[in-house]
Amino acid sequence: DTAVSQTPKYLVTQMGNDKSIKCEQNLGHDTMYWYKQDSKKFLKIMFSYNNKELIINETVPNRFSPKSPDKAHLNLHINSLELGDSAVYFCASSQGALGSYEQYFGPGTRLTVT
Amino acid sequence: AQSVAQPEDQVNVAEGNPLTVKCTYSVSGNPYLFWYVQYPNRGLQFLLKYITGDNLVKGSYGFEAEFNKSQTSFHLKKPSALVSDSALYFCAVRGYTNAGKSTFGDGTTLTVKP
């Protein structure tokens, strides 16, 4: 059973388009995250939701909008895609928002903007 | 603000030799410290964490890490490296406050040669 799953795995699109990435976790966790990993493999948090409430909102262009319809799902919508948005986007979850909980990561979505 | 430093971009060891991947951190209050491993084209996998108690923490695949409060370090170790340990390793810190936000180091690529 896949604990944290993301769709699609690969996404190739043109500048200016709008796209969405979906994430689902079947671990019963309360907290979910979106991370961006750039070409140098640096990992940065973008957003975090705890029980469907946004608790972390890093300095991210407002073209990125997360949505959590329920505790098991966290989607990421990106408007007006730019070349610099090309990266691997990881969804993750943890049992709760407390810092003592480890995170479980999905397989990633490789976004390529041309 | 919390931060993590992994001073080595690359660590090379021979199979069967001990390995160490270094990590130092900065955080207000008591830290929660984590190690994750990323294999090519995969998401991050949790290896181990320090929350409180014993300074030597044991984790998956024979890895362990030593928490040193005075040196603000949390180095990852393994007594005998395997070729299959070759991967990208990330150290991360989460603080008491900050909604459980994780800050990741820049990663260290471990290469184990036969």
Whether residue B78 has pLDDT greater than 90: yes
**Number of neighbours of residue B59 by Cβ within 10 angstroms:** 17
Say if residue B51's pLDDT is above 70: yes
- Does residue A60 belong to the interface with chain B, where contact is any CB pair within 8 Å? no
The band of B97, judged by pLDDT with boundaries at 50, 70 and 90, is low
What the block records as the tokens of B13 is 């060891």
Q: Which amino acid is at B43?
A: G
Contacts with A98 from chain B: Cβ below 8 Å: 100
In the structure encoding, which two tokens stand for residue A70, read together? 């329920």
pLDDT tens, position by position, A55-75: 888 889 999 999 999 999 999
Q: What is the pLDDT of residue B98?
A: 56
Residue in B46, B51, B90 nearest the CB of A43:
B90
Q: Which chain B positions have a beta carbon within 8 Å of A41's beta carbon?
A: 38, 88, 106-107
Q: Which two tokens stand for residue A55?
A: 């608790």
Q: Pick A48's closest partner by Cβ from B36, B49, B99.
A: B99
- Half-sphere exposure of residue B10, counting CA atoms within 13 Å on the CB side? 3
A8 prior amide bond cis, ω within 30 = yes
* Chain B residues lying within 8 Å of A48, measured CB to CB: 99-101
Mean pLDDT, residues A80-92? 97
pLDDT band with cut points at 50, 70 and 90 for residue B95: confident
Residue B99 has what pLDDT?
65
Inter-chain residue contact A90 with B34, CB threshold 8 Å:
no
- C-alpha of A22 from chain center: 8
Choose the closest CB to A42 out of B34, B98, B106.
Answer: B106
Confidence at B86, pLDDT banded by 50, 70, 90: very high
Q: Testing the interface with A: which of B101, B103, B108, B110 to mutate, by most A Cβ within 10 A?
A: B101
Distances (CA, A) of A57 to A62, A63, A66, B34: 10, 13, 10, 22
CA atoms within 13 A on the CB side of B77: 12
Instruction: Using the structure block, give the residue that is written with the tokens 């262009």.
Output: A61
Per the CB < 8 Å rule, is A103 touching B46?
yes
Per-residue pLDDT band at B76 (split at 50, 70, 90): very high
How far is the C-alpha of A70 from the C-alpha of A64, rounded, in Å? 19
Q: Indicate the average pLDDT of chain A.
A: 94
For an interface test with A, give the residue of B94, B106, B109 to mutate (most A CBs within 10 A).
B94
Kindly state the average pLDDT of the residues A8-23. Answer: 97
Furthest-apart CA atoms within chain B: distance in Å: 44
Give the chain B residue nearest A108 (alpha carbons): B43
Check pLDDT > 70 for residue A1. Answer: no
